[in-house]
């Protein structure tokens, strides 16, 4: 991704990344990432080019690439700024249709050009781009506590932890003594309670940030769990804050 206008903040459950205008990044597969966009002069614009596995395998058939295991653990990696990258971004304009996508017939040509530039100037990316293995079995407790805010299905959680769905459910119950669905709901509600009570967040912001799709369902589950609605908790926080201000 190359950021043309504005800025972005990204969060992967562990680290926060800031991407500014004129910067390029590579996002790793099998990593959950949440983005927030900030406009500049009321404009936000970026170019995103996907390097999928099918394309990468074809690339390897045409080019000799030395691929080594990467030491990178981050979800996002910065790409070195260079005249080649900037010229490449400028070269896309004649091939873009009215929706900003590269016209059919030129897609793979321009992707191949980009990948040749990336590998020449950032050879360490080869160990990431050409790693076609599935995720290895990882620490389930650490992963779930880091990623419970992401609204993804159990199948994806299972895959990202290196397990089949049945193994994921079995290991999860042994670890947490409950089902994944019950644990996720409870963990998200606890985080929402904390954010509303101690942060500067309102219920309309919090429910999405902690992984709920629907605000009405969030409010219903919240009141069932804590005995009062998110709006009531927000009112309590504001009342306490007002009393503290009045006593000064």
Considering the domain architecture, whether residues 21 and 116 belong to the same structural domain is answered as: yes
- Both 191 and 93 in one domain: the answer is no
C-alpha 150/C-alpha 147 separation (Å) is: 6
Average pLDDT score over the chain: 91
105 and 30 in a common domain? yes
CATH code of the domain in which 114 resides = 2.60.120
> What single-letter DSSP state applies at residue 43?
B
Clarify whether residues 25 and 122 are in a common domain: yes
Q: Are residues 115 and 9 in the same domain?
A: yes
**Are both 35 and 115 inside the same structural domain?**
yes
Q: How far apart are the C-alpha atoms of 30 and 136, rounded to whole Å?
A: 11
Q: How many CB atoms lie within 10 A of CB 46?
A: 17
Domain boundary among 106, 129, 152: 129
Quick one: which of 125, 158, 161 has its CA closest to 51?
A: 125
Between CA 78 and CA 23 the distance in angstroms is: 8
* Residue where one domain finishes, among candidates 81, 102, 129: 129
What's the pLDDT score for residue 245? Answer: 55
pTM higher than 0.85 = no
CB 75 within 8 Å of CB 28: yes
Residue-number span of the structural domain to which 31 is assigned: 2-129
Residue 134: inside a domain: no
Indicate if 69 and 109 belong to the same structural domain: yes
Q: Is residue 22 part of a domain?
A: yes
pLDDT means per 10 residues, the chain with 248 residues, are 96 92 93 92 94 94 79 82 94 85 90 95 89 88 95 95 96 97 97 89 90 94 95 86 61
Are 119 and 151 in a shared domain? Answer: no
Residues 179 and 208 in one domain: yes
The reply to whether 84 and 198 lie within a common domain is no
Q: Tell me, yes or no, whether 45 and 154 share the same domain.
A: no
- Taking the CA atoms of 183, 184, 185 and 190 in sequence, report the sign of the dihedral they define: positive
Q: What is the model's pLDDT at position 248?
A: 58
Q: Which of 53, 47, 17, 48 is nearest to 34 (CA)?
A: 17
Does residue 45 share a domain with residue 118? yes
Domain final residue pick, 100, 129, 158: 129
Instruction: Establish if 135 belongs to a structural domain.
Output: no
Q: Is residue 220 part of a domain?
A: yes
Instruction: Return the pLDDT at 247.
Output: 59
Question: Per the domain annotation, does 167 fall within a domain?
Answer: yes
């Amino acid at each position: 991704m190359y950021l043309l206008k504005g800025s972005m903040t990204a969060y992967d459950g562990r680290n926060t990344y800031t991407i500014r205008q004129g910067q390029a990044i590579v996002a790793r597969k099998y990593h959950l990432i949440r983005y927030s966009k900030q406009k500049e002069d009321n404009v936000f614009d970026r170019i995103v080019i996907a390097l999928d596995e099918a394309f990468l395998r074809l690339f390897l058939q045409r080019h000799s690439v030395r691929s080594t295991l990467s030491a990178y653990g981050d979800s996002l990696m910065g790409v070195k700024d260079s005249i080649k990258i900037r010229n490449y971004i400028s070269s896309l304009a004649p091939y873009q249709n009215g929706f900003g996508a590269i016209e059919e017939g030129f897609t793979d040509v321009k992707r191949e050009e980009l990948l040749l530039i990336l590998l020449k100037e950032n050879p360490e990316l080869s160990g990431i781009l050409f790693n076609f293995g599935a995720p290895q079995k990882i620490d389930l407790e650490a992963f779930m506590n880091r990623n419970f805010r992401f609204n993804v299905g159990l199948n994806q959680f299972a895959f990202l932890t290196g397990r089949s769905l049945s193994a994921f459910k079995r290991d999860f119950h042994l670890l947490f003594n409950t089902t994944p669905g019950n644990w996720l709901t409870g963990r998200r509600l606890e985080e929402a309670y904390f954010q509303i009570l101690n942060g500067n967040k309102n219920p309309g912001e919090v429910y999405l940030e902690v992984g709920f799709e629907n605000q009405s369902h969030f409010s219903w589950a919240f009141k069932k769990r804590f005995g009062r609605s998110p709006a009531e908790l927000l009112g309590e926080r504001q009342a306490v804050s007002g009393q503290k201000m009045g006593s000064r």
